[in-house]
Structure 1
Amino acid sequence: MDIKNYPAEPFRIKVVETVKMSTREERVKAMREAGYNTFLLNSEDVYIDLLTDSGTNAMSDKQWAGMMIGDEAYAGSKNFKHLDATVKELFGFKHMVPTHQGRGAENLLSQIAIKPGQYVPGNMYFTTTRYHQERNGGTFVDIIRDEAHDATLDVAFKGDIDLNKLQKLIDEQGADNIAYVCLAVTVNLAGGQPVSMKNMREVRELTAKHGIKVFYDATRCVENAFYIKEQEEGFADKSIKEIVQEMFSYADGCTMSGKKDCIVNIGGFLCMNDEQLFEEAKELVVVYEGMPSYGGMAGRDMEAMAIGLKESMQYEYIEHRVKQVRYLGEKLKEAGVPIVQPVGGHAVFLDARRFCPHLKQEDFPAQSLAANLFIESGVRSMERGIVSAGRDKNGNNHAPKLETVRLTIPRRVYTYRHMDLVADAVIELYKNKEQIKGLKFAYEPKQLRFFTARFEHK
């Protein structure tokens, strides 16, 4: 592993937060009290927090300065105007509706764009996205390329939509029965896998023939743009901004969680070109979020988001961000730890099936692996497998082919030395993987169970 391939941090650290160094006995007690669910741990008990990159970013000096000029007027905030202009400049859509975070945008889109009985094809599900789609009468259909479900395949752009699968769905169900195509850039549950510009263009061409709209889950679109620049022919000399603009030129709109690639702690938005959908979204945002000029966000948060979105387009920033994740992945790969390949843009995904071959999927191996990683090291991660997938309408567990633990790297928070410590902890646990025991539910909520479920050893 050549360290020269990994750029130094393109920033200086001005403020630090002291973290608690706990003992193994303290972590055993904390995990037991949390019901072996890393979401239920207290933050103060965590040493390195890789639960999520959502809202856990470190903001820049310019973003913090922007927070001080927050216009907290209930209507007509100048910060909304700044955010609105920034989003339109970078994404190119005609209309933007702010929301408190990404799932707020998912809620609005699902209500205004899905009729009961319609299908919503997409390149692999995401938990909250599928929930909103199904809650509004839609049926999610996975049309991602088959390679995305195989953790061992190291191929580029595993997030691509399989055009044959999409065409087959159109032929079988009819274009009128497809609400829209939901295209995620990047694909979280596939391991943070990007989508090629070629695929986006081809999806646009196919859907245009049938009058079907395409909405992106744009949460990590800047990371996706980096992969296009790095790996797709014809884009090496284009800026991240230019690539992002072309990406969105093939869509009718998008949902966005600003807590990721906008490098902030809260906020999101919904974009579209359709005038009627925009009017409907403005009506609903008042019901669920707030006025169309703040949508659940404070003025200061909108200002920080506008600044952060511009900062995310800087090549030095996104190169370091993606390659820091890659650094961790390569260290684990060299040690023989089974991970999802290739390494994605926001996280390294441990392949719990191969990590814990002594456990069946019904034993919740990824859930147990995440719990044991915290106990052994103080590193908090997240299950992304059968628990996250939930149950179908008949009450049966969805059993995804990928059973993973996500090591999610916050933006501008940790150093390469932190990644070394995480790698050492995972490698040591892998050497003693037989100690990882299966789990069962002690409490199972009906919806999005992975957030609040509690477990116990079988």
Structure 2
Amino acid sequence: MDGQVKFFGGAAFPLEMHKVRIVQKLTLVSVEERVAAIREAGSNTFLLKNDKVFLDMLTDSGVNAMSDRQLAAMMTADDSYAGSMSFERLRTVTQDIFGKPFLLPVHQGRAAENILASALVGKGGVVPMNYHFTTTRAHIERNGGSVVELFLPEALNLDSTDPFKGNMDTAALDALLKREAGNVPFVRMEAGTNLIGGQPWSLENLERTSEICRRHGAPLVLDASLLADNLYFIKTREAAQRGATIREITRRIADLCDIVYFSARKLGCARGGAILTADRALFERMQPLIPLFEGFLTYGGMSVREIEAMAVGLEETMDFDMIRHGPEFISFMADELDARGVPVVKPAGGLGCHLNARAFLPHVPQNRYTAGALAAAVFIAGGVRGMERGTLSEERNEDGSERLADAELLRLALPRRVFTMSQVKYAVDRIHWLFENRNLVGGLEWTEEPKILRFFSGRLKAVGDWQDRLAAKFREDFGDSL
């Protein structure tokens, strides 16, 4: 395997293939200040002020470390409103990597979802996918469509060691496309199913999915935001692809899809996004919406400096040493927690280490937001900010009842090349302590609940005084320590 490193002493941990040249100071506040901060934030980690956060594991979106080459490229940007050569350089890179000549720039991934849904989804349209993402479903439903998830049973078995839990159920897809002939605007595959632990699909599964889509005349759309992690897993877990380069696997994936879109805040370590296709008809349906929603066709709402950084970042994503960093750090963290009995999603996927909140807090029911309560508790325990991926991230049913999530996860994102090994070990230590004191943690209830994407800005409060009791136990066990 490419550059596998073994240690003479027998230890096993990932080796960083980069050096740190610019640093940013962090602050670790007291547990009492952490309790006050989480209360001020309405027990919603999205609303925490970052000066109270020690390790920000909320997301990898827009917070991956940029390379020296990306920063240098930003200084060469062509700041023209129209006809920018920065855009031309990005188009050259995307066509070389993905083989698709038509490029539509957007300011981030959910903007791409808006363009796709607005152009292609109509009332009653059905969009099959391997698993939904929050904003994707919201855009599809806003345009009158609905989402049908076609995942395999192993996808929701958080303890299963199946290497490709993100696979599409191709038999179910074939049946749906027959049943809904003419009513499916596109089929969506998400690289690294975000809401069930960043679990990948295999190239073999994508090949079967593509063949079925083409036989039924349904465009196959790839959300490639987490493609870097999926590429790593294809190369390391799929025997038939171990001899292929990352660039070769990427082109094969792109050739199987009619549209590829992504958030460059994840793929490429910049801040922007893009929609790519080789299909002129699909391109012409989407193109008029870019000036309407995003900006002119050669910047799409992005700074041209970010366009230059994206072009370099996409090229760097073809480097195995670059893409291995995230999954290997995540795997290390998950293995360390698992060794201490802490329930995690297995096997470790991409984007972050995922805690199984229902197994961590079996006494906290889903309608008290199990994963949200765990997110607040982890912050109190160590100043570590994670993201709830469970019922809190869902939206209510039309009758007002809760749409209980398939899984209650706390995602602890590990942005590429950001955290050190000692910081990961610190997070493991504080989560281990919390697990030993998990019976102190209670649930949450709403105080302010938005109707759409409530997890971003809604406010909750603890049911009872469990946050104070958890802080008191921390002080009892750690004394004056932070």
TM range (shorter): over 0.9
Unpaired stretches in structure 2, ≥5 consecutive residues: 1-5, 464-482
| Partner residue, 1:431 | 436
Counterpart CA distance in 1 for 2:188 and 2:400 is: 25
Q: Percent identity?
A: 39
| Partner residue, 2:269 | 263
8 Å CA contact 1:222, 1:240 repeated in 2: no
| Partner residue, 1:19 | 26
What's the offset of the Cα at 1:426?
0.8
What's the offset of the Cα at 1:320?
2.3
Counterpart CA distance in 1 for 2:105 and 2:85 is: 14
Q: How many residues align?
A: 456
Q: Detail structure 1 runs of 4+ shifted over 4 Å in the superposition.
A: 1-5
Residues 52-71 of structure 1: pairs in structure 2 closer than 5 A: 52-71=59-78
Question: CA offsets, 1:400-430, max 9 Å, x none?
Answer: 2211100111111011111101111111100
8 Å CA contact 1:115, 1:137 repeated in 2: yes
Residues 170-319 of structure 1: pairs in structure 2 closer than 5 A: 170-173=177-180, 175-264=181-270, 266-319=271-324
| Partner residue, 1:40 | 47
8 Å CA contact 1:348, 1:406 repeated in 2: yes
SS of equivalent residue, structure 1 residue 153: coil
Q: 2:114 is aligned with what amino acid?
A: N
| Partner residue, 1:377 | 382
Unpaired stretches in structure 1, ≥5 consecutive residues: none
| Partner residue, 1:77 | 84
SS of equivalent residue, structure 1 residue 141: strand
Q: 1:219 is aligned with what amino acid?
A: S
Deviates more, 1:61-70 or 1:446-455: 61-70
Counterpart CA distance in 2 for 1:170 and 1:418 is: 48
Residues 441-452 of structure 1: pairs in structure 2 closer than 5 A: 441-452=446-457
Q: 1:140 is aligned with what amino acid?
A: V
8 Å CA contact 1:440, 1:456 repeated in 2: yes
Counterpart CA distance in 1 for 2:399 and 2:189 is: 27
Report the TM-score when normalising by structure 2: 0.93
| Partner residue, 2:472 | none
Counterpart CA distance in 1 for 2:413 and 2:14 is: 19
Q: 1:375 is aligned with what amino acid?
A: I
8 Å CA contact 2:325, 2:417 repeated in 1: no
What's the offset of the Cα at 1:384?
0.4
Counterpart CA distance in 2 for 1:319 and 1:345 is: 10
| Partner residue, 1:143 | 150
Q: 2:438 is aligned with what amino acid?
A: K
Counterpart CA distance in 2 for 1:424 and 1:291 is: 49
SS of equivalent residue, structure 2 residue 252: helix
Counterpart CA distance in 1 for 2:341 and 2:185 is: 43
- Residues 413 and 368 (structure 1), Cα distance of their counterparts in 2 relative to 1, 3 Å cut: same
Q: 1:136 is aligned with what amino acid?
A: N
Report the TM-score when normalising by structure 1: 0.97
SS of equivalent residue, structure 1 residue 255: strand
SS of equivalent residue, structure 1 residue 177: coil
Question: CA offsets, 1:258-284, max 9 Å, x none?
Answer: 0112112x1001112221221232211
Q: For the aligned residues, what is the CA RMSD?
A: 1.3
8 Å CA contact 1:47, 1:378 repeated in 2: yes
Q: 1:282 is aligned with what amino acid?
A: Q
Counterpart CA distance in 2 for 1:15 and 1:289 is: 32
Deviates more, 1:163-172 or 1:401-410: 163-172
| Partner residue, 1:152 | 159
| Partner residue, 2:120 | 113
Q: Which of 322, 335, 341 lines up with 1:330 in the alignment?
A: 335
Question: CA offsets, 1:125-184, max 9 Å, x none?
Answer: 1000111111111110010112111212111100000012212322332x2111111101
Counterpart CA distance in 2 for 1:143 and 1:78 is: 42
SS of equivalent residue, structure 1 residue 256: strand
What's the offset of the Cα at 1:115?
1.9
Counterpart CA distance in 1 for 2:379 and 2:387 is: 10
